[in-house]
Amino acid sequence: MNGPPHVRQKAKPLFTKLLQNFAATKSLTKVKQLHAIITSSGLLSAHLHSIIAVAYANSGHVSNARKLFDEIPERNSFLYNTIMRMYTQNGSSYDSIRLFADMLRLENNLPDNYTYPIVIKACSDLALRELGVVLHGRTLVTGFDRDTFVQNCLLAMYTSFGEIEVARKLFDGMWERSVVSWNTMISGYYKNGYANQALEVFNWMVNNGVEPDSASVVSVLPVCGYLKDVEVGRRVHVLVESKGLGNNIAVWNALVDMYMKCGSISEARLVFDGMSERDVVTWTSMISGYILNGEVRNALGLLRSMQFNVVRPNAVTIASLLSACSSLYYLKDGRCLHGWTIRQKLESEICIKQQIYIVI
């Protein structure tokens, strides 16, 4: 970039702002273009070098981000955290842990309260229990045992390992619990086969005046469906309406699924018909619910409505219907569905193949 020094100096904050905006919107092409402009203009300072590396990382370009990171002589915790987070989000958790080990070797780059959640999640993803326990110990030594964000990640890690008693002990000893802490325990109990305890934690949460969020609803409604506790499910539905928690389609999908599993088809249909937006999960929940409650004809009718609304069934949708059509009464419908799966190139899906063999 040609021009007086003061003009060139003013360009740097502009480039920084643009890179941050491009990274926030994951506009990788624009990040590359601006990188080229900055390099060719001779304005590639150490500061901009770091900002570009962060922009590549946040845009998901792993190789460019790591290349620039390796070229930076003095790296701070923020840079390490950004690259580690990029690795974890892109399914390269081993690389995230290796970078954490590299970070520990540098005295001036000690992990902070943003580092531990990243590497704890990497341990969860890779089921590295022993390393996870070591990291837990480090949080105690370094004083991060009072950080709610770090503690929430430890809760999620222990529940993912199936160590629900350890998670509960950690939960009970937390200095401060956020709504995420409660949600993690609810889903952790449920996923590990303790549905009654999950419901107890939810009731405890509400009784303690903790405001549930949409994630709370999505966590507890499957518990209600599993226990067929429609009364609690209805109370959760009231919470959704009164607290304005229905902005997330996952909440309404969970309500449909809960009512169907509780055998309350009419209430499920009321929720379904009142939804302003439906995705394939919504339709599949209704179809599977009809089948669960023995209303195969209604399920087949809903499939036609689904296609009329230009929502493409997925493998789970078709597998549910094929299973329902395995009796002689619905054999013709099952064969039609088989033909449709071939035309839609869904036959290779394992769950569908298994049901096709039953039908034919």
356/288 same-domain check = yes
Pick from 34-48, 115-129, 336-350 the range whose average pLDDT is largest.
Answer: 115-129
At 334 the pLDDT is 64
At 358 the pLDDT is 46
For residues 43-56, average pLDDT: 82
305/359 same-domain check = yes
> Does residue 174 lie in a domain region?
no
284/260 same-domain check = no
Pick from 15-29, 237-251, 288-302, 316-330 the range whose average pLDDT is largest.
Answer: 237-251
273/288 same-domain check = no
283/337 same-domain check = yes
Q: Is the pLDDT of residue 360 over 70?
A: no
What is the extent of the structural domain holding 302? 279-360
> Does residue 10 lie in a domain region?
no
Other Cβ atoms within 10 Å of 179 Cβ, number: 15
For residues 46-52, average pLDDT: 83
For residues 264-283, average pLDDT: 95
336/350 same-domain check = yes
For residues 295-313, average pLDDT: 86
Domain boundary among 225, 260, 277: 277
Q: Is the pLDDT of residue 346 over 70?
A: no
- pLDDT tens digits for 150-172? 999 999 999 999 999 999 999 99
> Does residue 123 lie in a domain region?
no
At 80 the pLDDT is 93
256/287 same-domain check = no
Q: Higher pLDDT residue, 326 or 139? A: 139
> Does residue 160 lie in a domain region?
no
**Number of domains comprising the chain:** 2
> Does residue 106 lie in a domain region?
no
Pick from 239-248, 334-343, 349-358 the range whose average pLDDT is largest.
Answer: 239-248
270/284 same-domain check = no
Other Cβ atoms within 10 Å of 197 Cβ, number: 18
Q: Give the closest residue to 28 by CA, choosing from 51, 61, 64.
A: 61
For residues 214-219, average pLDDT: 97
Domain boundary among 235, 261, 277: 277
- 252 and 246 in contact (C-beta within 8 Å)? yes
Mean pLDDT of the chain: 87
Q: How far apart are CA 283 and CA 312, in angstroms?
A: 10
> Does residue 152 lie in a domain region?
no
- 228 and 263 in contact (C-beta within 8 Å)? yes
Structure-token pair, residue 246: 């229905």
- Class of residue 74 by CB neighbours under 10 A (exposed 0-12, middle 13-18, buried 19+): exposed
At 19 the pLDDT is 80
330/357 same-domain check = yes
235/290 same-domain check = no
Q: Higher pLDDT residue, 271 or 175? A: 271
For residues 178-202, average pLDDT: 97
- 324 and 291 in contact (C-beta within 8 Å)? yes
At 356 the pLDDT is 46
Q: Is the pLDDT of residue 351 over 60?
A: no
> Does residue 262 lie in a domain region?
yes
Q: Higher pLDDT residue, 38 or 96? A: 96
Secondary structure of the chain in HEC code, one letter for each residue: CCCCHHHHHHHHHHHHHHHHHHHHCCCHHHHHHHHHHHHHCCCCCHHHHHHHHHHHHHCCCHHHHHHHHHHCCCCCHHHHHHHHHHHHHCCCHHHHHHHHHHHHCCCCCCCCCCHHHHHHHHHHHHCCHHHHHHHHHHHHHHCHHHCHHHHHHHHHHHHHCCCHHHHHHHHHCCCCCCHHHHHHHHHHHHHCCCHHHHHHHHHHHHHCCCCCCHHHHHHHHHHHHHHCCHHHHHHHHHHHHHHCCCCCHHHHHHHHHHHHHCCCHHHHHHHHHHCCCCCHHHHHHHHHHHHHCCCHHHHHHHHHHHHHCCCCCCHHHHHHHHHHCCCHHHHHHHHHHHHHHHHCCCCCCHHHHHHHHHHC
pTM greater than 0.75: yes
Domain boundary among 258, 277, 296: 277
> Does residue 342 lie in a domain region?
yes
271/292 same-domain check = no
Structure-token pair, residue 300: 């087949």
Q: Higher pLDDT residue, 7 or 49? A: 49
268/315 same-domain check = no
Q: Is the pLDDT of residue 123 over 90?
A: yes
